A = this chain, B = another copy of it.
Amino acid sequence: MTRRVKAGYLRPLDFKHGVIDMNHGAGGRIAAQLVHELFSAAFDNTYLNQGNDGALLPLPPGDRLVIATDAHVVSPIFFPGGDIGSLAVYGTVNDVAMLGARPLYLSAAFILEEGFPLATLRRVVHSMAGASRRCGVPVVTGDTKVVERGKGDGVFITTTGVGVVPLARDIGGANARAGDVVLLSGSIGEHGVAVLSQRASMEFGTAIVSDSAPLHELVQRLLAAVPEGAVRVLRDPTRGGLATTLNEIAQQSGVGMMLQESAIVVLAEVAGACEMLGLDPMYIANEGKLVAIVAPEWADAALAAMRADPLGGSAARIGLVCTDAHGFVQMTTCLGGRRVVDWLSGEPLPRIC
C-alpha cells in the first residue's frame, strides 16, 4: 500500500459502480492506482507519502516501545456508532494505551474480497482516516491484498500500533495486588449489542450505539492525576467482556476479586436486549471502556480524573482485589447473594470486533 506512485494512463477509479477485482491485489499499475487514489489520498501524511514498503519515523528518545496488533473481522462492517474502519483504529490505539503508552503510529493491512464495492471500501477508509485524525495517530504504512470471491468477507483490516512509554512506568495485567481498587470507566455491553442488533439472523430495533472510542487521552489524564506506580493495571474489556477481562487479570496477577454488581452500570436498553437474547452483559464486548486497577490510596483521585474525561463520565469503583490462590472473581449481587464470575464459555459471540 505504501508505494505511492501515480498510476498514469488509467481512467480514475469508479467509486460509484466499481468493485474490487483481483488486479487490485496483484502489485501492478492497477494496484498502485487504488493506493494512490484511495488510501494515500485518505490517510495523507508525510510518512505514508515516503512511498516505500515501510515507513521511516522519528522516535522520541529514551523511552521503551509498545507494539499491539489486532485483526478486525467485525460483521456486519457498519453498525450503530461505528464501522470496521474506525474500530480498527480505536481498537489498536486502545491496546497501546493500556500499557500506559502514548500511541504514535499505525499500520493498516487490508484483505479485500473480489467484488467488494469500491464505494463501500471508500466509506470504510474515510471513516478510518477520520478516526486516525481524531486520535492524532497517523496511518504510516500498509498493505492491500485481494482474495477470490467466497474466500473472504468484504474487508478484513489488521492494524498494528506503535507507541512509547516512559522507562519508569510499569502497567500490566500481572501487577494487581490484594487491596487494590477496581475502577471501570463506564457502562458495559453497548458495542456487542449494537453489532448483534445488525445481524441478519437476529435483527432487532434498538437505540443502542457502540461505545467504540479511543481511550488514550483518558489514560493520559488518569496517569497525570496519580503518582507513577499507583495505576497497576489498565485493560479494555473487549471480546469476552468485563467478566473475562477481570478473570485474565486475576490469573495473571495471582489474586482474586470481589465485585459489587450494583456498581456496574448497564444501560436499560442493553439489559433489555441481553435478556431477550439470553446473554449476560458481563460477557459482552466493549470498545470504549477500560478497567483500571489502582492502589487504594489513589483510587479517589483516579476516579475523579476518569470522571473528568468525556469518555469516563460514569466511571465507578466496582470492586476490590483480594487474596485468592485460585484467582476467582466473585460478585456480590444486587440481591445480596454472592456468585463466581467465570470466564466466557458456552455461546460465543463471533466477529464482534
Contacts and interface: CB of A to CB of B under 8 A. Distances in A.
Given A51-B173, A145-B71, A350-B26, A3 B153 contact: no
A65 B140 CA distance: 11
Nearest to A8: B251
A328 B105 CA distance: 34
Contacts of A172: 50-52, 56
Contacts of A111: 71, 73, 111, 156, 158
Contacts of A75: 147, 151
A27 B66 contact: no
Nearest to A57: B65
- How many protomers of this protein does the assembly include? 2
Nearest to A105: B67
Interface of A: 3, 5-6, 22-23, 25-32, 50-59, 61-73, 75, 95-96, 98-99, 101, 105, 107-111, 140-148, 150-153, 156, 158, 160-162, 164-165, 172-174, 235-236, 238-240, 244, 248, 251-252, 283, 285, 343-345, 348-351
7 contacts: A52-B99, A52-B172, A69-B107, A69-B141, A75-B151, A111-B111, A143-B158
Nearest to A250: B5
Given A147-B73, A161-B54, A26 B68 contact: no
A128 to B, nearest CB: 14
A143 B285 CA distance: 16
A28 B68 contact: no
A143 to B, nearest CB: 5
B350 A251 contact: no
B98 A26 contact: no
Contact of A70 (B51, B68, B73, B109): B109
Given A53-B235, A160-B107, A5 B68 contact: no
